[in-house]
Amino acid sequence: MSEIIINRLKESEGKVIKIFLHNGFHYTGKCLGSDEKYVELLDFKINAIKILQIEDIKDMEVREWRLS
């Protein structure tokens, strides 16, 4: 598990992120929080909260602005 991804997720609370998983799925939404194993994301597509395992994350993008 990448320490860079874990640290970036912790710094991204409240920001818009796009997460790409190893299985090819991707999610875009507001990062609500994370710990060492999971990230909580308000998924814009389905307007619901997703809990994703960090070990499933292949790549991610972080927008440098926050949503209110």
Q: What is the dihedral of CA 8, 53, 32, 10, to 10 degrees?
A: -20
42 burial via Cβ count (<10 Å: 0-12, 13-18, 19+): middle
Q: Is residue 18 a contact partner of residue 8, using CB atoms and an 8 Å limit? A: no
Q: What is the pLDDT along the chain (68 residues), one digit of tens a residue?
A: 578 889 999 999 999 999 999 999 999 999 999 999 999 999 999 999 999 999 999 999 998 766 66
**Measured distance CA(60)–CA(68) in Å, rounded:** 21
Dihedral sign from CA coordinates of 41, 44, 50, 55: negative
Q: pTM of the prediction?
A: 0.86
Task: Domain 3-66: give its CATH code.
Answer: 2.30.30.100
Domain boundaries, the chain: 3-66
